[in-house]
Amino acid sequence: MLRYVTESVQRWRDRLRRRLAIWIWDRPNRQDGVFQDRVVFIRWDAKLGDTIVLSWVLRALERQRPDLEIVVITGESLEDLYRWGYGIDSVYRASKRHGFKSLRSIVSKLERPRYVVHLSMAWRARDLWFVHHLKPRHVVGLDDELRMVDVKLGQRSLGLHFADKLVPWLEQIGVDVNSRRYSIPRIPEAGHRVDLWWPKGKVIGVCPYGASRKKYLNDVWFESIVRGLLANQFNVVVLVLPDHHAVVQNMIHKHAWQQRVFLNPDKSSVYDLFEQVARCDGVVSVDTAVVHIAVGFERPLVAIYNSSGIEFDHWHPNSSKALVLRGASDLSQIDNGLSQMELARALQYLRCNI
């Protein structure tokens, strides 16, 4: 009850802040003066999955609109990926909770860009303040309510996958959008690290944990998937963050799976994750960035999503090589809406496509 009340108060507070911010800062963009030939992408939520599915946009702009300098504002965790993985020279660090002092410094360096792209579906007060002070010529966004968003994509991109949300704008500025394959960088250093422990034979990557606990597979299902893969003569690499290593190691020892189930032994970078998925013959993953990485490498994929609608609608696996299983709203529960029949279907799919 207390949690419900707290969340209700926070939602009320956020709505009030948004209304005040709209009243203070939401103005149509200026049409006159000199603008810098740059496009500023605001990605300070630092979501790896979104970065992967929008990677083709960066590639298309670099190739077809070299007149536009690409600038990315993102969190610390993805700064290196944008700078060195995607070759974006102008990367600025700002997290979701960055202070206004830091944001003013960024504004002073990037004022009056030709385009600002911000794909949050409902802008917050800080978003409005920041874009208002940037003074761009055009603002591209999904929040159609805002007057400062003059390239309104909310209704125009309704029903499209998140990877395709920018297509109407790209076509408007003369970019060919026919090639939309995700771009995922691989580096030799990561390859050398993974070489040290990667198993021989056919390998299936399994990612049992998403960003929230409702996207965690419960132990029963996780163990059932691993047992099924081992029975079908696949080796298994478990794709998890370091925070989950201890849990997975305990499970491996509990079932004496040391010779067939593998886990990256070191704290790895995002490039190590890319390398592991690229080497897998197939992937089983809950709703998380690993789904989109597998799509980018065109791997056969079993993707497990919960029943909430909007996330699946916008971030389903954008691939003809994917089989989707839908569970209950909370996959971590014993009664999570998944069945042994679906597990058998998933295993059959992998056997037939690898």
Digit-coded pLDDT (tens) for 105-149: 999 999 999 999 999 999 999 999 999 999 999 999 999 999 999
Domain assignment of residue 49, yes or no: yes
Q: What is the pLDDT of residue 31?
A: 75
Give the least confident one: 5-9, 19-23, 296-300.
5-9
Q: Does the structure show a pLDDT above 80 at 3?
A: no
Same domain, residue pair 338 and 233: yes
pLDDT in tens, 84-110: 999 999 999 987 676 777 889 999 999
Q: What is the pLDDT of residue 242?
A: 86
Non-local CB neighbours of 311 within 8 Å, separated by 6+ positions:
287, 305
pLDDT interval class at 280 (50, 70, 90)? very high
| CA separation, residue 2 to residues 12, 85, 212 (Å) | 15, 44, 20
Q: What is the pLDDT of residue 77?
A: 92
**How far is C-alpha 53 from the chain's CA centre?**
7
Q: What is the pLDDT of residue 252?
A: 92
Domain assignment of residue 11, yes or no: no
Same domain, residue pair 227 and 270: yes
Give the global pTM.
0.93
Domain end residue (candidates: 147, 172, 197): 172
Q: What is the pLDDT of residue 117?
A: 98
Exposed, middle or buried by CB within 10 Å (0-12, 13-18, 19+), for 92? buried
Q: What is the pLDDT of residue 132?
A: 95
pLDDT interval class at 319 (50, 70, 90)? very high
Same domain, residue pair 192 and 89: no
Contact 236, 222 (CB under 8 A): no
Same domain, residue pair 296 and 230: yes
Domain assignment of residue 6, yes or no: no
Domain assignment of residue 240, yes or no: yes
Contact 56, 183 (CB under 8 A): yes
Q: Does the structure show a pLDDT above 80 at 55?
A: yes
**Which long-range CB contacts under 8 A does 252-257 form with residues at least 24 apart?**
255/223, 255/226, 255/227, 257/226, 257/230
Domain assignment of residue 330, yes or no: yes
- Provide the token pair at 14: 């956020």
For helices 289-296 and 270-279, angle between their N-to-C axes, nearest 10 degrees? 50
Domain assignment of residue 2, yes or no: no
Same domain, residue pair 59 and 129: yes
**Span 148-169, average pLDDT:** 96
Same domain, residue pair 106 and 213: no
Range(s) of the domain holding residue 295 = 188-353
Same domain, residue pair 339 and 245: yes
**Span 244-257, average pLDDT:** 92
CATH classification of the domain holding 287? 3.40.50.2000
Non-local CB neighbours of 101 within 8 Å, separated by 6+ positions:
none
**How far is C-alpha 90 from the chain's CA centre?**
21
Domain end residue (candidates: 118, 148, 172): 172
Number of domains in the chain: 2
Instruction: Tell me what the pLDDT averaged over the chain comes to.
Output: 92
pLDDT interval class at 268 (50, 70, 90)? confident
Q: Does the structure show a pLDDT above 70 at 168?
A: yes
Q: What is the pLDDT of residue 100?
A: 76
Q: What is the pLDDT of residue 52?
A: 97
pLDDT interval class at 2 (50, 70, 90)? low
- Provide the token pair at 157: 């991109």
- At 61, phi and psi to the nearest 5? -65, -40
Q: Does the structure show a pLDDT above 90 at 260?
A: yes
Same domain, residue pair 200 and 127: no
Same domain, residue pair 48 and 144: yes
Same domain, residue pair 163 and 195: no
